[in-house]
Amino acid sequence: MSMKQKLLVCLMALIVVFGGGVLVGYRIDRGVDPQDSIKTVFTPYDDGIGNYLSFLDRANESVYVADYSFTDPRIVDKLIDLKTKRKVDVHLLLDLSQTQGRSGDHEKAQIDRLKAVNIEVVVGTSEKSHAIMHNKYTVVDREWVESGSWNYTKSANDQDNVQDYMRSKKRAGLFMDNWRRMYAFMKAQDSKREAQSASVSDGDDDADDSAGDDKPAPKGHRKSTSQHAR
């Protein structure tokens, strides 16, 4: 093949790839920039919490959250309001390490508030090597998606973070598929921890009861033969 023919083949290939608007399976819609359909927020210059609460306020049917660190009571207030007043279906996946670390007590307090109104909160790790669950995203009504680096904490608004808001059923579907995949693993993991915790608690109760049995009976009273007598 001559040099001229090779150049012609290369030119035709470029026309097919770029002229047809397809590059490695990704369709390029000429005249439409993807950013046109995304609202991007940069903290601390923009109001992350304000934008996020307004985003949650769109919910009429469901809210699905996957978040690494979760301590902001304003977000909890909004989720409780959506659950109790609008009857929105609310579910959260949270990282285990953050319930045990320095801010663990603060996060547990917010989790307790959510569970008190029957909002499902599942705590766990990544499925691989029990690493952290480091996602920060929310899907509203299976149509709207918020994602980025912004944790759901009071300090996140002061940090350099980014939030992307997008209305896309296709994107929401991708995030929901991932949420369900994580949920399946984390739910089993969470249930196992609760069962182990209950077993330990029952064992402690039995030990206390047994210790009580060894105490001498008060004068004038016969010691009961019941194992759990008090």
The owner of tokens 């077993």 is: 199
Please give the Cα distance from 91 to 118 (Å, whole number). Answer: 10
Does 125 fall in a domain? yes
What total number of domains does the chain contain? 1
> Could you say which DSSP state residue 96 is in?
S
Please give the Cα distance from 165 to 42 (Å, whole number). Answer: 12
Does 214 fall in a domain? no
Does 42 fall in a domain? yes
Please give the Cα distance from 86 to 48 (Å, whole number). Answer: 24
Does 18 fall in a domain? no
Q: Which helix (H) or strand (E) element contains residue 56?
A: helix 48-56
CB 133 within 8 A of CB 66: yes
CB 56 within 8 A of CB 75: yes
Structure confidence at residue 155 (pLDDT): 96
Structure confidence at residue 18 (pLDDT): 52
Structure confidence at residue 169 (pLDDT): 98
Does 122 fall in a domain? yes
Does 49 fall in a domain? yes
Q: Which helix (H) or strand (E) element contains residue 89?
A: strand 89-95
Does 19 fall in a domain? no
Domain containing residue 52: CATH number: 3.30.870.10
Q: What is the DSSP string of 150-194?
A: --BSTTGGGS-EEEEEEE-HHHHHHHHHHHHHHHHHHHHHHHHHH
CB 164 within 8 A of CB 40: yes
Please give the Cα distance from 15 to 21 (Å, whole number). Answer: 9
Residue 167 amino acid letter: R
Structure confidence at residue 200 (pLDDT): 75
Cross-strand pairs, 137: 66, 147
Enclosing domain of residue 94: 32-199
Q: From first to last of its 230 residues, what are the pLDDT tens digits of the chain?
A: 676 666 666 666 655 555 555 444 545 556 889 999 999 999 999 999 999 999 999 999 999 999 999 999 999 999 999 999 999 999 999 999 999 988 899 999 999 999 999 999 999 999 999 999 999 999 999 999 999 999 999 999 999 999 999 999 999 999 999 999 999 999 999 999 888 878 776 666 555 555 555 444 334 433 333 333 33
Structure confidence at residue 14 (pLDDT): 57
Does 191 fall in a domain? yes
Cross-strand pairs, 162: 42
